[in-house]
Chains A and B, each alone.
Chain A
């Protein structure tokens, strides 16, 4: 604890140091003041200061006025801050490329990094793209070419992959969290000693070290969230006259946007920050001494905390979409128009297709249902079974389904009801909104038909079939009206890809619809297509669009089959606007629900508080060396204790205040409330939402919430010490924390290797899964 009292006391420097451009300060006065405050450094500086009296930490260096001679540079360096920063860098960055193997979720993020390197489009529902982009940036700087298959945890990296550069950005963020909590505690108006305490707690937290040292996103998220709060409090504590403080506000908005861009969880911290800002503004409104709330202040808050984050959030997507311009494995989730905008995807097929659908066109019809699986209207040479399993009858006509793969049986030909030709006239006669057409299946020449027979899986809807005339007084009902739902004019032409069409059955006014149910074995597990009465049906499962399209030229069935088998080709680039792409992508990311199942190391939120659970991140291929996500039990306990203590204390204070006992001066009370808002509030917003989520959750989801508790603990201790009782157990906690941290070090860094007995000794809780290798 060797820091200069002068530095500590710098926190209570008088107003003479406050303004950013202060020019009249000579070295003598600065030193003199420092010496002067040195004498009373014993009394904590917490009480009753105005925000204006506190700015500029010791680490900032400052120039005195250039014009004044002699030219003197006064630099103040908070050695403690430097020390913890160095320690943080050392714990997070040393031997970063060990283990030289894929560790836990690196296998997940790695695939996206590879896709970025190859600029191949993907969609990840776990969060917005900024986090992936940051990881990809590291890989890019390290010269990673994307040629590594991330297929299993524990796979060795080849020498061509710079593991260090993959991991350095998250590690750096993780390391910077430590000085940041130091500064944040100071901004909350607690002493340097508390700040040091918070920094040490964070520094010695095994789980944070583990999470920072690999290509994972939590440390980035924590860093950004802390930065947002730090810079907001900087802004708030700065004197109102200063213009520079708006830079801090802007920084706060930017880091909020970045935090949300890394993980959706950042949103909750952002909302908390907005809440705090709102409270501050609200108090300002009620402050009668402020003659009028300056419009600049209001506008600044509005722009920096609302407009900028929203714009930046969109900007992350802009970057994402402009980086990823090639088609890839997730293309099929997106609409045809979106796919067509990607290089080499659908555009390879659809380029140069005729735009206007005409009589005689050969088309594939894709359902616009926003489901995980895309599918195309399909038919094949198989009939509905005469009787279903449950005893209901069918028409026994040819099956019509929706098929999730490209297939020659997905081709349909558009036919004019009054004419026999299946070729396109010259010039082509386009199909318009409201026209009545027939659809002929390309390979089997059956007409798309519907009738008053219950559909196989959805008995309330009508069956759709390829019409087979069994001579059983069941006439063909194969006329369909084209209803373009996104039309701009009443007589709009049906356009490839762009038009979303409903096919309305003329006889029964039912609409062709993808029901989304899989057919049983007889239907080859393809998806059911039905005709639904219009008044019941709504939503995207009604829409169809033409994806592949060409003008048919062959009248004879045999020729036509050959024609259908031949690939389509040609080239024109179809553009859709960025906004359309952004909205579609965002919607898909929120709507796509992957089937969640329990993971071996997944856990429930309530287990996190007591750390019932751990996660094995990596196990050496041959030895017992292993890396686990396990928190430091001492600091974990301290955190829980302080959370409890704060709530208890707050309850007692509030009840007593209500009865008219004022235990604390108003300024201290405000400080106490502010601490609770930020730290306990931060814990709540980062923890409670998980209780309501039906997702697979892991221990690492708790880390952001935990960091708030580490901020809380020393500050609360200081508060207790100053205002309630004077105890001296401060030093024992870091000591204990440090020794426990040492104990778990082998599981944090994955070396040295421990024997099975040693590992068994580290299993402090029965519920922890620590791996032993049987030899």
Chain B
């Protein structure tokens, strides 16, 4: 009810402000008392009216209550609006920052992202499937608040002890606190209704899931912050459409671009919000194109402005983030092996950094062989056989991204086994060699069996014992672009291994083997002799005590090459996250119905338990509103299509429903539907961006539904009903938050199915695990 006073007030103040703006068209400034003179303008295109924050006072008078409200608002000027916003801000921050330091141990994925934050502080190179911005910000927050990067973040449950972890958590929580505020502003902008905005904010503030996910060192609050900020600035930008190329127009455009870069720089999920903004922009340009009062040059200007603001600028920022990432992380670390030899040579502490090794490949050397395909691994073998039914049951040969002693191979002549004394012979282009796996003493071998995954290729195995095998172990070494007699340069020569017996070439297909192959990458022998990076290799490590070590400078890779390389590694890593067999994995249809949460901390009765689960009242209300929204839109669009005459209030409501609601529905769909097509392992928390959109849609839908009470009831009763509805909604959200708050703020003691528990009787679904 309170919110209605606000709604009224906002209109008045906005209107007073707009009197002074000069570029407005189709709009007169109307004193609030002159209701009648306003009426003609409601029928003018809504686009134009809604450019100012206020809207036709007729509706406001219908929806708001009586004269006392007007008196109240007039007397107090702008303050109640601010009070409402301040209330949202205050509630949001207090719910997120409350008990921020508890539990004082590592929770769930903090073990990854905390660790990666530490890597930035220590400047150690690592590899992760997400772009670096989020972790950089976490590292920065930690650095600013006195965390020294020494905590190892080994596994969930490790005690933080004296470490300053609160800064990183606090940073995430602060960003998370902005979500309800942004949602409030977005809904306000889309629906011009403070009630709708306030409902949305309340739903998000008191959702236990949103609170929990904001309170820990995770990427999600950062990601959602950027997503919501991007949507907010996009909506604000839409409102500027009647004053193009003004300062505020440019401001919101640039801000949208910056936030898009931020969202995409944290997680690839940011792509969905880019799509949303992209679709919105296309729609906007389409509208401009249809505006025949604009010349084509004007349209081109609009187009170019958007290209700069929404494509070039974010791209530049995104690339900058990566540049910073590569500059900051200049020490060798756990991520080295994923990258090419050239890249590794710029990491301090890596064995290729200022490398010193024998310059030319020689017989008897111990080497590692790296595939030249981007993000290709090292030629690898281990004590495991191919399983039954996959070619012949010999030892597996794979490509593996990590550095490992199983990547070491010995170079032999085709005939002899022992390396001779004295200075060893050098290997030349066209020589026939044998590669023996150092750890298992098997030879690199191929034969006419189908490869495990790429059926058109032949299988590559490890065969023989102590280096004794058969003629299928012989490989002809070729330097790409070389002539007979050329020496093989370590690190710099691209070489190919041609199988003597079958004439195929050693090849890395890039496909991930199933579990029996430890999810390493398949290596095959390809009968297609085309030169591709997949069939080219280089010699990376080269150990031969009999040869002098020479300092080698490796060609430094271009920045764009590193960028491309790291992206391919990331994408491959992402799709490689396949669900494990014995893990109960979450399915997308579980999420909207709040089927099952995620355990952040603690399992049994004595531990401090935090459980990520949405407030069921909020989530189920969201779900119901989605259905309700569809029905309402269907009814509205049929009536409009059929040409029934509607009152101005209805027309405006259906405009809000279709435009604003449509945008939010699209946002929800874009952030939810793609997960159905993803093969990677999915978690409950992936739904949260979509949930934000769903909640905003709920705000608009419920508000309009309650506003439509006058369809069935006479005016005074409809107002009462509306207010009763709002109160019931507010109270039920608050009460359910009171019931479920231990999920977020932690609980100890017996589990929910026992009577003594704090959560007794609240396990409404069997699948909840608290």
Chain A contacts to B: CB under 8 angstroms: 282, 285-286, 288, 457-458, 515-517, 534-536, 538, 597-600, 602, 655, 658-660, 692, 694
Question: Within the complex, which residue of B641, B642, B679 is in contact with A694, where a contact is CB–CB below 8 Å?
Answer: B679
What is the 8 Å Cβ interface bit string for chain B, positions 343-356, against chain A (1 contact, 0 not)?
00000000000000
Task: Report the nearest A residue to B514, measured CB to CB.
Answer: A595
- Could you list 10 examples of A-B contacts with CB < 8 Å? A457-B582, A515-B582, A516-B582, A535-B770, A538-B766, A598-B453, A598-B455, A599-B455, A659-B289, A660-B292
Beyond A517-B582, A692-B677, whether A658 also contacts B643 by CB under 8 A is no
Beyond A534-B753, A535-B753, A536-B769, whether A285 also contacts B638 by CB under 8 A is yes
Beyond A286-B641, A286-B642, A286-B643, whether A659 also contacts B455 by CB under 8 A is no
For the complex formed, measure the closest distance between the CB of A8 and the CB atoms of chain B, giving whole angstroms: 39
Tell me, yes or no, whether B286 is within 8 Å of chain A by CB: yes
- Neighbouring A residues of B679 by C-beta, 8 Å: 694
**Measured between alpha carbons, how far is A525 from B450 in the docked complex, in Å?**
26
Tell me, yes or no, whether B454 is within 8 Å of chain A by CB: yes
Question: Within the complex, which residue of B290, B641, B768 is in contact with A285, where a contact is CB–CB below 8 Å?
Answer: B641
- Neighbouring A residues of B455 by C-beta, 8 Å: 597-600, 602
Task: Report the nearest B residue to A689, measured CB to CB.
Answer: B677
**Measured between alpha carbons, how far is A765 from B192 in the docked complex, in Å?**
62
- Neighbouring A residues of B290 by C-beta, 8 Å: 658-659
**Measured between alpha carbons, how far is A659 from B291 in the docked complex, in Å?**
8
Tell me, yes or no, whether B752 is within 8 Å of chain A by CB: yes
For the complex formed, measure the closest distance between the CB of A527 and the CB atoms of chain B, giving whole angstroms: 11
Beyond A282-B641, A285-B641, A538-B766, whether A600 also contacts B582 by CB under 8 A is no
What is the 8 Å Cβ interface bit string for chain B, positions 748-770, against chain A (1 contact, 0 not)?
00011100000000010011111
**Measured between alpha carbons, how far is A288 from B640 in the docked complex, in Å?**
12
For the complex formed, measure the closest distance between the CB of B497 and the CB atoms of chain A, giving whole angstroms: 22
**Measured between alpha carbons, how far is A599 from B292 in the docked complex, in Å?**
56
Task: Report the nearest B residue to A285, measured CB to CB.
Answer: B641
- Neighbouring A residues of B752 by C-beta, 8 Å: 535
Q: By the criterion CB–CB under 8 Å, are A458 and B582 in contact?
A: yes
Q: By the criterion CB–CB under 8 Å, are A655 and B289 in contact?
A: yes
**Measured between alpha carbons, how far is A457 from B581 in the docked complex, in Å?**
11
Task: Report the nearest B residue to A515, measured CB to CB.
Answer: B582
Nearest first, the 3 closest Cβ-Cβ pairs linking A and B are A286-B641, A517-B582, A692-B677
Question: Within the complex, which residue of A517, A598, A659, A694 is in contact with B292, where a contact is CB–CB below 8 Å?
Answer: A659
- Neighbouring A residues of B638 by C-beta, 8 Å: 285
Q: By the criterion CB–CB under 8 Å, are B753 and A598 in contact?
A: no
- Neighbouring A residues of B286 by C-beta, 8 Å: 658
Q: By the criterion CB–CB under 8 Å, are A535 and B582 in contact?
A: no
For the complex formed, measure the closest distance between the CB of B648 and the CB atoms of chain A, giving whole angstroms: 21
For the complex formed, measure the closest distance between the CB of A262 and the CB atoms of chain B, giving whole angstroms: 25
For chain B residues 286-307, which have a beta carbon within 8 Å of chain A? 286, 289-290, 292, 296
Tell me, yes or no, whether B456 is within 8 Å of chain A by CB: yes
Q: By the criterion CB–CB under 8 Å, are B766 and A598 in contact?
A: no
- Neighbouring A residues of B770 by C-beta, 8 Å: 535
**Measured between alpha carbons, how far is A101 from B389 in the docked complex, in Å?**
27
For the complex formed, measure the closest distance between the CB of B672 and the CB atoms of chain A, giving whole angstroms: 16
**Measured between alpha carbons, how far is A180 from B767 in the docked complex, in Å?**
53
**Measured between alpha carbons, how far is A148 from B402 in the docked complex, in Å?**
52
Task: Report the nearest B residue to A769, measured CB to CB.
Answer: B456
Beyond A285-B641, A457-B582, A538-B766, whether A598 also contacts B454 by CB under 8 A is yes
Q: By the criterion CB–CB under 8 Å, are B453 and A597 in contact?
A: yes
**Measured between alpha carbons, how far is A285 from B638 in the docked complex, in Å?**
8
Most B C-beta atoms less than 10 A away, residue of A288, A597, A660: A597
For the complex formed, measure the closest distance between the CB of B577 and the CB atoms of chain A, giving whole angstroms: 15
Chain B contacts to A: CB under 8 angstroms: 286, 289-290, 292, 296, 450, 453-456, 581-582, 638, 641-643, 677, 679, 751-753, 763, 766-770
- Neighbouring A residues of B642 by C-beta, 8 Å: 285-286
- Neighbouring B residues of A536 by C-beta, 8 Å: 769
**Measured between alpha carbons, how far is A694 from B679 in the docked complex, in Å?**
8
**Measured between alpha carbons, how far is A458 from B582 in the docked complex, in Å?**
8
Most B C-beta atoms less than 10 A away, residue of A515, A516, A599, A658: A658
For the complex formed, measure the closest distance between the CB of B519 and the CB atoms of chain A, giving whole angstroms: 15
Q: By the criterion CB–CB under 8 Å, are B769 and A535 in contact?
A: yes
For the complex formed, measure the closest distance between the CB of A613 and the CB atoms of chain B, giving whole angstroms: 11
**Measured between alpha carbons, how far is A286 from B641 in the docked complex, in Å?**
5
Question: Within the complex, which residue of B456, B581, B641 is in contact with A516, where a contact is CB–CB below 8 Å?
Answer: B581
For the complex formed, measure the closest distance between the CB of B449 and the CB atoms of chain A, giving whole angstroms: 13
For the complex formed, measure the closest distance between the CB of B580 and the CB atoms of chain A, giving whole angstroms: 10
**Measured between alpha carbons, how far is A599 from B286 in the docked complex, in Å?**
46
Question: Within the complex, which residue of A288, A516, A659 is in contact with B643, where a contact is CB–CB below 8 Å?
Answer: A288
Known: A285-B642, A516-B581, A692-B677. 12 other contacts (CB 8 A): A286-B642, A286-B643, A288-B643, A457-B582, A515-B582, A534-B753, A535-B766, A536-B769, A600-B450, A600-B455, A602-B455, A659-B296
**Measured between alpha carbons, how far is A188 from B362 in the docked complex, in Å?**
73
- Neighbouring A residues of B581 by C-beta, 8 Å: 516-517
For the complex formed, measure the closest distance between the CB of B118 and the CB atoms of chain A, giving whole angstroms: 28
- Neighbouring B residues of A599 by C-beta, 8 Å: 455
Task: Report the nearest A residue to B596, measured CB to CB.
Answer: A538
Beyond A288-B643, A658-B289, A694-B679, whether A535 also contacts B763 by CB under 8 A is yes
- Neighbouring A residues of B450 by C-beta, 8 Å: 600
**Measured between alpha carbons, how far is A460 from B63 in the docked complex, in Å?**
56
**Measured between alpha carbons, how far is A721 from B72 in the docked complex, in Å?**
72
For the complex formed, measure the closest distance between the CB of A2 and the CB atoms of chain B, giving whole angstroms: 49
- Neighbouring B residues of A288 by C-beta, 8 Å: 643
**Measured between alpha carbons, how far is A458 from B581 in the docked complex, in Å?**
11
**Measured between alpha carbons, how far is A659 from B298 in the docked complex, in Å?**
13
**Measured between alpha carbons, how far is A160 from B292 in the docked complex, in Å?**
76
Most B C-beta atoms less than 10 A away, residue of A282, A535, A597, A600: A535
Task: Report the nearest B residue to A691, measured CB to CB.
Answer: B677
**Measured between alpha carbons, how far is A396 from B583 in the docked complex, in Å?**
26
For the complex formed, measure the closest distance between the CB of A541 and the CB atoms of chain B, giving whole angstroms: 10
For the complex formed, measure the closest distance between the CB of B377 and the CB atoms of chain A, giving whole angstroms: 20
For the complex formed, measure the closest distance between the CB of A634 and the CB atoms of chain B, giving whole angstroms: 27
- Neighbouring A residues of B753 by C-beta, 8 Å: 534-535
- Neighbouring A residues of B641 by C-beta, 8 Å: 282, 285-286
For the complex formed, measure the closest distance between the CB of B289 and the CB atoms of chain A, giving whole angstroms: 5
**Measured between alpha carbons, how far is A602 from B581 in the docked complex, in Å?**
26
- Neighbouring B residues of A286 by C-beta, 8 Å: 641-643
- Neighbouring A residues of B292 by C-beta, 8 Å: 659-660
- Neighbouring B residues of A457 by C-beta, 8 Å: 582
- Neighbouring A residues of B768 by C-beta, 8 Å: 535
Most A C-beta atoms less than 10 A away, residue of B292, B454, B642, B770: B642
For the complex formed, measure the closest distance between the CB of A401 and the CB atoms of chain B, giving whole angstroms: 15
For the complex formed, measure the closest distance between the CB of B647 and the CB atoms of chain A, giving whole angstroms: 20
Q: By the criterion CB–CB under 8 Å, are B643 and A538 in contact?
A: no
Q: By the criterion CB–CB under 8 Å, are B456 and A600 in contact?
A: yes
Task: Report the nearest A residue to B456, measured CB to CB.
Answer: A600
- Neighbouring A residues of B766 by C-beta, 8 Å: 535, 538
For the complex formed, measure the closest distance between the CB of B712 and the CB atoms of chain A, giving whole angstroms: 25
For the complex formed, measure the closest distance between the CB of B401 and the CB atoms of chain A, giving whole angstroms: 22
**Measured between alpha carbons, how far is A451 from B296 in the docked complex, in Å?**
79
**Measured between alpha carbons, how far is A457 from B582 in the docked complex, in Å?**
9
Most B C-beta atoms less than 10 A away, residue of A286, A458, A655, A694: A286
**Measured between alpha carbons, how far is A596 from B714 in the docked complex, in Å?**
64
- Neighbouring B residues of A598 by C-beta, 8 Å: 453-455
For the complex formed, measure the closest distance between the CB of A599 and the CB atoms of chain B, giving whole angstroms: 6
For the complex formed, measure the closest distance between the CB of B212 and the CB atoms of chain A, giving whole angstroms: 19
Task: Report the nearest A residue to B451, measured CB to CB.
Answer: A598
- Neighbouring A residues of B296 by C-beta, 8 Å: 659
- Neighbouring A residues of B751 by C-beta, 8 Å: 535
For the complex formed, measure the closest distance between the CB of A464 and the CB atoms of chain B, giving whole angstroms: 16
Task: Report the nearest A residue to B604, measured CB to CB.
Answer: A533
**Measured between alpha carbons, how far is A665 from B428 in the docked complex, in Å?**
74
For the complex formed, measure the closest distance between the CB of A682 and the CB atoms of chain B, giving whole angstroms: 21
**Measured between alpha carbons, how far is A534 from B450 in the docked complex, in Å?**
46
For the complex formed, measure the closest distance between the CB of B50 and the CB atoms of chain A, giving whole angstroms: 23
**Measured between alpha carbons, how far is A286 from B642 in the docked complex, in Å?**
5
